[in-house]
Amino acid sequence: MFDTVLVANRGEIACRVFRSARALGLRTVAVYSDADRDARHVQQADTALRIGAGPARDSYLDIERVLDACRRSGAGAVHPGYGFLAENAGFARACRAAGIVFVGPGPEAIDALGNKSAAKQLALRIGVPCLPGYAGPQQDLDTLVAEARRIGAPLMIKAAAGGGGRGMRRCRDVADVEALQQLLEAARAEAQSSFGSGELLMERLVDDARHVEVQVFGDAHGGAVYLGERDCSTQRRHQKILEEAPAPGLPDALRAAMGEAAVKLVRAVGYVGAGTVEFLLAPDGSFSFLEVNTRLQVEHPVTEAVTGLDLVEWQLRVARGEPLPLAQADIRSRGHAIEARLCAEDAFGGFAPQAGAITHWQLPAGDGVRIDHGLAERPTIPPYYDSMIAKLVAFGADREQARARLLRALERSAVLGLRTNRDYLLQALRAPAFAEARLCTHWLERDSAGWAAPAAGGRWAAVVAALLLHRRARAFGPLALWSSAGRRETPLRLRVGEATLALRLAYAAGEAVQVTLGDERHEVEVLADDGVDARFAIDGAEGSVQLSGDGRSGWAQVEGVCEAFEDLSDAPPRGRDGGGDGAIVSRMHGALVQLAVQPGQRVAKGEFVLAIEAMKMEHRIVAPLAGTVAELGAAVGTQVAPGRLLLRIEPDAA
């Protein structure tokens, strides 16, 4: 039994665990890195302890530092959340040796199920359906090539020791041995970098399959149950974007068969705690085992929504030695729930991770919508961790009501100061394939090729210009801007994203501002303004705007379009920057992990030139044009920030 729990994690999952722990009367302990000193999870805990510098390896991934925090705080239990040390058998063993309860399965179960190859071998032994493949110990390149050709194409190559899309490669032609070897070596290198193990497995690739996972729970008394399933087919580069429960369109018999197969697997290892068994569901209704996540999943709230159960409370009760709160026959599901992962990333700019200060945010809950987040009042997003900043979960009587509620919540959400994937999520939810539940693991990448960010047009600029004028009048006094002699006119040069707009404002005291942009003309009146949130009327139609900044530059969200702006009215016109079209600059904070070219080398347009690792993902960059590498701006291993020159290509002569 324990009365204090330390959460060896950060952000929204730490806040989520604290909520259930407090409800059980437990004392809570947070740990934090230097980058998270002012984070929300630090503010919420009863006790908070620093465990190191910003990079995860120096803090959240350092087992001894976490155990030392347990000793200093008197914590009798550690909840690992997800990510970091959550599926680390060595950490679970270290907790056991230190007399600290690990809120999760024992190290033996993690060893048996956490490695994909070991889990697949177990599944085959006990009769859980598996795809044809190879998960053997021989990992030399010749063996892997031979096994790949035996399995046949299409083929999926996977890292055995981890997930999240890292170390995965699709192979459509096993006859091309050289190309196959390159895929295997690339997958092994990424797996080694991400998980400390280059072990690979291979499986037959099933086209148009769905990703369906089953939530399982076990206790120390031999009990094991499943709590329904989730469909996680909406993915980008094997990263989940939208998740839902229950999986739409599954017959009851299939749903029960998958649940029973999942329980059979975890019973075989005496599993204790929460886990997820993932399956691939083929178009013909057959299912095959993929892997087990020996932890709580990011998407657990959709299961909580449809079952009415608190899964973190279940974890804590089971960790205290209690039996499972319900038997299988007592678990019920109703309605439908969908979760969207809101991430700090430029979804229409190569999904580059974003780091920096959020100047204003609003995430509306209520009306069947739950928000899980770790955002402080004025948060800063560090460059070291996963890009997810919040989860929006909508529940409804049926799938369409849940989808409509989630759409409305995202439309009303605002995050100013950096780019997010909000508009990408909105387009995914509105896409016919999702709306009609025509799901498979590649539908999103197939259908999103033509998606683009909503444009900040003339109406957007007119509202921002009028609000900037209004705030200056309030700051400097009406006489500084409004002429007693009548209407005044002034030009305003506004940079919006990459465009510069020349506007003309005409205004007088007590009247709407007339804004002209080319052939467009709008009348804008500011109705209310608290310094960030404002109400306006444009051409007689009312709306809301969120604008944060210093009066000259900032971010604004108008009529659902969120964009950065800068008032250039007092600045000289800007020319092209000196980098030229051949300059490749970093769009993110990260580490340069691969450089495939040298000065003087010829490159073709689209040829791979370098890779940056940021927020646990590797981003491969190709040459924007054909030419000769003229300059390198950074060496492998260098930490780079947005705007840093990476390399410059001298274009071929026309």
b/e sequence 150-164, b meaning 16+ C-beta within 10 Å: ebebebbbbbbbbbb
**CB-CB contact of 487 with 508 (8 Å):** yes
pLDDT value of residue 479: 42
**CB-CB contact of 573 with 602 (8 Å):** no
* Beta strand segments in 263-378, E: 273-281, 287-293, 336-343, 345-346, 352-353, 356-357, 360-362, 369-373
DSSP state of 130: B
User: Quick one: tokens of 35?
Assistant: 């980058």
Amino acid letter, residue 243: E
Taking the domains of the chain in order of start, what are their residue ranges?
4-103, 108-128+211-331, 132-204, 335-438, 458-567, 583-651
**CB-CB contact of 29 with 42 (8 Å):** no
**CB-CB contact of 625 with 602 (8 Å):** no
* Nearest by Cα to 374 from 605, 585, 81: 81
Per-residue pLDDT tens over the stretch 112-125? 998 888 999 999 99
Task: Report the top-level CATH class of 335-438.
Answer: alpha beta
Sign of the CA dihedral running 11, 14, 17, 18: negative
Enumerate residue ranges in the chain where pLDDT < 70.
164, 476-486, 570-581, 615-617, 654
Sign of the CA dihedral running 497, 503, 508, 514: negative
Query: What pTM does this model have?
Result: 0.87
**Per this entry, what is the length of the chain?**
654
In this structure, the dihedral spanned by the alpha carbons of residues 190, 191, 193 and 197, taken in order and rounded to 10 degrees, is -150
How far separated are the first and last CA of the chain, in Å rounded? 75
Q: How many angstroms separate the CA atoms of 434 and 396, rounded?
A: 16
**CB-CB contact of 410 with 422 (8 Å):** yes
Distance between alpha carbon 116 and the CA centroid of its chain, in Å? 23
- Give the H or E element holding residue 475: helix 458-476
* Beta strand segments in 445-551, E: 488-496, 499-507, 513-517, 520-529, 533-538, 541-549
108-128+211-331 placed in CATH 3.30.470.20: yes
**CB-CB contact of 348 with 453 (8 Å):** yes
Residue written as tokens 């989860």?
391
* Beta strand segments in 135-272, E: 155-159, 169-171, 200-204, 210-218, 224-236, 239-245
Residue written as tokens 């998740």?
243
What is the SS3 assignment for 35-58? HHCCCHHHHHCCEEEEEECCCHHH
Q: How many angstroms separate the CA atoms of 395 and 357, rounded?
A: 31
**CB-CB contact of 105 with 275 (8 Å):** yes
Distance between alpha carbon 375 and the CA centroid of its chain, in Å? 15
Per-residue pLDDT tens over the stretch 325-381? 999 999 999 999 999 999 999 999 889 999 999 999 999 999 999 999 999 999 999
**CB-CB contact of 245 with 308 (8 Å):** no
pLDDT value of residue 263: 98
What's phi and psi for 328, nearest 5 deg? -55, -40
List, as one string, the DSSP characters of 283-340: TTS-EEEEEEE-S--TTHHHHHHHH---HHHHHHHHHTTPPPSS-GGG----SEEEEE
DSSP state of 369: E
User: Quick one: tokens of 197?
Assistant: 């193990």
CA neighbours closer than 13 Å in the CB half-sphere of residue 282 = 12
Q: How many angstroms separate the CA atoms of 165 and 197, rounded?
A: 15
**Residue 340 to residues 129, 312, 389, 424: CA-CA distances in angstroms?**
30, 20, 11, 11
Rounded to 5 degrees, what angle do the CA atoms 636, 641, 647 make? 50
CATH architecture of 583-651: Beta Barrel (2.40)
Q: Which residues pair with 361 in a beta bridge?
A: 415
4-103 placed in CATH 2.40.50.180: no
Amino acid letter, residue 236: R
| Domain 458-567, CATH number (from 3.30.1370.60, 3.40.630.30, 3.90.480.20, 3.30.700.30) | 3.30.700.30
Q: Omega before 364 cis (within 30°)?
A: no
**Residue 641 to residues 386, 586, 630, 645: CA-CA distances in angstroms?**
17, 6, 21, 9
* Nearest by Cα to 516 from 548, 540, 490: 490
Task: Report the top-level CATH class of 132-204.
Answer: alpha beta
Domains 4-103 and 132-204 fall in the same CATH topology: no
**CB-CB contact of 234 with 431 (8 Å):** no
Q: In the sheet where 155-159 sits, what is the strand order?
A: 133-134, 200-204, 155-159, 169-171
Query: What are the percentages of helix, strand and coil residues in the chain, rounded to 5?
Result: 30, 35, 40
Residue 74 gets the label, from left (phi > 0), alpha (psi -120 to 50) or beta, of left
pLDDT value of residue 570: 66
- Backbone Cα Rg of the chain: 27
Q: How many angstroms separate the CA atoms of 475 and 415, rounded?
A: 25
Amino acid letter, residue 411: E
